[in-house]
Amino acid sequence: MSVKFVHFAGIDVSKSKIDICVLLSGDVKYPYSNCFEQSNKGFADMKKWLRSLMGNAIKKLLICIENTGHYNEAVVHYRTASK
């Protein structure tokens, strides 16, 4: 079964923080953005924020992460493990 992505997010990762910008399908007002700390608490806060924006439609969210070497590995691992 394939998933049709309708929402898109870009993540910029640094040593201490995660900046995220989300474009929701059908919402032409503006992109949503937020900043979270680079930690398990920050990852959980980011997931909670994403769910508040789109509920169960989070399954149709395509996330693109800047490849910064080891700084992006933690957020990728958290996202993969929390499905």
On whether the CB atoms of residues 5 and 20 are closer than 8 A, the answer is no
pLDDT on residue 25: 86
Per-residue confidence band for 45, with pLDDT thresholds at 50, 70 and 90? very high
Per-residue confidence band for 67, with pLDDT thresholds at 50, 70 and 90? confident
The rounded mean pLDDT for the chain is 84
User: Rounded to 5 degrees, what are φ and ψ at 38?
Assistant: -85, 80
The CATH architecture annotation of domain 7-81 reads 2-Layer Sandwich (3.30)
Question: Helix 40-54 vs helix 73-81: angle between axes, to the nearest 10 degrees?
Answer: 60
Alpha-carbon gap, residue 5 to 27, rounded angstroms: 15
Averaged pLDDT for residues 58-81: 76
SS3 3: coil
